[in-house]
Amino acid sequence: MATVLNDNLPKHHQATQNEKLVIAASSLGTVFEWYDFYLYGLLATYISAQFFSGVNETTGFIFALAAFAAGFAVRPFGALVFGRIGDLVGRKNTFLVTMGIMGLSTFAVGLLPSYASIGVAAPIILVVMRLAQGLALGGEYGGAATYVAEHAPDNKRGLYTSWIQTTATLGLFAALLIVIGTRMVIGEEAFAAWGWRLPFLISIVLLAVSMWIRLQLNESPVFQKMKDEGTTSKAPISEAFGEWGNLRWVIIALIGAVAGQAVVWYTGQFYALFFLEKMMKVDGATANILIAIALALGTPFFVFFGWLSDRIGRKPIILVGCAVAALSYFPLFTALTDAANPALAKAQATSPVTIVAHQDDCSFQFDPVGKNKFDTKSCDVAKSYMAKTGITYTNVEAAPGAVAQISVGDKVLTAPDVANLSGDAKKAAITAFQDDLKATLSDAGYPAKADPAQINKPKVVGILFILVLLVTAVYGPIAALLVELFPSRIRYTSMSLPYHIGNGWFGGFLPTTAFAMVAATGNIYYGLWYPVVIAAATVVLGLLFLPETFRRNIDQ
């Protein structure tokens, strides 16, 4: 049965039963879409092994994160394509199409043969599926947020749209639960071999449920009124971005709000998870459970901050969240190291690792094509091994031509002078050096993996909760702010583009960029400069240019 609203309702009123259905149906459908999208991020390690097995482990993981980011790269284009359709033909039908694309693409990943089966075609098809997902999500969010906001009373838009804001976290939470449950039922060995496919395949059921839910809804009253009066836009893209009066608000929304919101969101919900697994060496199942608990504790605050923004405004909550994140990330992630892997934290403090080499002898430790073995210079031999360990180290400049040395506490090892070696002699020298370095690191207390018995789980959850709380502050009010910035005839198109440039590019590329920064510098915290700088820039630019919007009438 379609939802029908009374157009004569006052602009400030108690939520009707039909409005509650709109929120529930829009939110639940969007949860399933985020579930589909984020499965890939959660299973990046397994996808790396299945589809990027032709390169070394570190490069494969970065490739997997890059394919994860590919879905974000095309989101602005999805925003343009589907935003235009949404402003031309309506909100409801547009996000039905995006949902179908998302669900079928996710299901297809679960059926895709591995690299071992069909070679390079496997990662190519995988990236195509990710691109399809990104295009679909680019059209989904703006539609859902606009649809709910256009049903909301003027004084409750923050509260109503905050339920849409919970969907990304709830989708991630649902994906975590499915992944954890599958692991527990079939075991880690089977999960790594084939069980990782099951969460993708389950999405076909969720797609059917989501489509049925969305079909129960009617068109938004604001759009229906424009359609009845013949005032809908005939060229939403040119009107939204070809006229400076609107384009300037698109730019301000991006740099003064969304960019900072995006990096805070992806740092708190994704980079933290990857940091636990790749840097802290916490096993995947434990890391997933810890982040799931933090998400469960933090999710209600999306609604709280949405509600609060109806009272004090959107701008102060978003900018304070960005400012606190920029100031706290380094101490929070340092504390996360102490709590998640205390042996590693102790080893870093008592036996720091230093590489002494001339800068010209050191290559940039990032291998985008998986072909560079980093075995032609002594510095590269030392740094490439350290990059694989994920252990932080500092760089000290040596005299030109000096052979690289690596110190672990007070013990010093000299890297092989591979420039004067070749063939079996080079291979043997590198192997011997790596064996000595591995033993030295072990003797100094550097653990191969985090000891589950030593993890301070309450403290880890507490730190993760703080990170999620910052996410809720910046993300809870953002949909209402974006809806309120733009006129109804081009709202879907206008709000979707800055949102998806911010979250698709600034946020989506965060894990890949941050881990590449870590690999290049050897400092496991160096990648945090990415979100810190962007969040701080958003605070400054937002204070200067971003208007307050929470008392605006959005019916025009």
Is pLDDT above 70 for 7? no
- Residue 381: pLDDT band by 50, 70, 90 thresholds? confident
* CA–CA dist 148, 192 (Å, integer): 40
What would the mean pLDDT of 271-298 be, rounded to a whole number?
A: 89
Q: What is the pLDDT of residue 261?
A: 96
Q: Is residue 8 part of a domain?
A: no
DSSP 60-110: HHHHHHHHHHHHHHTHHHHHHHHHHHHHHH-HHHHHHHHHHHHHHHHHHHH
- Residue 9: pLDDT band by 50, 70, 90 thresholds? very low
Q: Is residue 550 part of a domain?
A: no
Q: What is the pLDDT of residue 76?
A: 85
Q: Are residues 73 and 40 in the same domain?
A: yes
The count of structural domains within the chain is: 2
Q: What is the pLDDT of residue 155?
A: 85
Q: If you average pLDDT over every residue of the chain, what do you get? A: 83
Final residue before a domain boundary, out of 425, 443, 461: 443
Final residue before a domain boundary, out of 386, 411, 443: 443
- Residue 15: pLDDT band by 50, 70, 90 thresholds? low
DSSP 299-365: THHHHHHHHHHHHH-HHHHHHHHHHHHHHHHHHHHHHHHHHH-HHHHHHHHHS-EEEEE-GGG---S
Q: Is residue 512 part of a domain?
A: yes
- Residue 269: pLDDT band by 50, 70, 90 thresholds? confident
Q: Determine which helix (DSSP H) or strand (DSSP E) holds 408, and give its type and residue range.
A: strand 405-408
Is pLDDT above 60 for 13? no
Q: Are residues 502 and 518 in the same domain?
A: yes
Q: Are residues 401 and 528 in the same domain?
A: no
Is pLDDT above 80 for 469? yes
Q: Are residues 438 and 478 in the same domain?
A: no
Q: Are residues 351 and 481 in the same domain?
A: no
Final residue before a domain boundary, out of 443, 473, 490: 443
Q: Are residues 64 and 94 in the same domain?
A: yes
Q: Is residue 31 part of a domain?
A: yes
Q: Are residues 150 and 98 in the same domain?
A: yes
Backbone angles phi and psi of 364, in degrees to 5: -70, 120
Q: What is the dihedral of CA 328, 527, 341, 446, to 10 degrees?
A: -140
- Residue 482: pLDDT band by 50, 70, 90 thresholds? very high
Q: Is residue 302 part of a domain?
A: yes
In DSSP terms, 414 is beta-bridged to 405
Q: Is residue 555 part of a domain?
A: no
Q: Is residue 318 part of a domain?
A: yes
Print the domain residue range for 157. Answer: 17-341+451-545
Q: Determine which helix (DSSP H) or strand (DSSP E) holds 413, and give its type and residue range.
A: strand 411-414
CATH number, domain with residue 113: 1.20.1250.20
Q: Are residues 38 and 180 in the same domain?
A: yes
Q: Are residues 138 and 176 in the same domain?
A: yes
Token pair 């590019």: residue? 505
Q: What is the pLDDT of residue 97?
A: 84
Q: Are residues 222 and 311 in the same domain?
A: yes
* CA–CA dist 233, 331 (Å, integer): 49
Question: Which tens digit of pLDDT belongs to each residue from 114-124?
Answer: 878 887 788 88
CATH number, domain with residue 394: 3.40.30
Q: Are residues 253 and 397 in the same domain?
A: no
Q: How far is CA 389 from CA 104, 201, 362, 454, 523, in A?
A: 38, 34, 18, 20, 12
What would the mean pLDDT of 293-303 be, rounded to a whole number?
A: 92
Q: Are residues 333 and 351 in the same domain?
A: no
Q: Which of 204-208, 311-315, 449-453 has the lowest average pLDDT?
A: 204-208
Q: Is residue 289 part of a domain?
A: yes
Q: What is the pLDDT of residue 516?
A: 81
Q: Which burial class, exposed, middle or buried, applies to 43 when counting CB atoms under 10 A from its CB (0-12, 13-18, 19+)? A: buried
Q: What is the pLDDT of residue 101?
A: 86
- In terms of Cα–Cα distance, which of 99, 127, 122 is closest to 50? 122
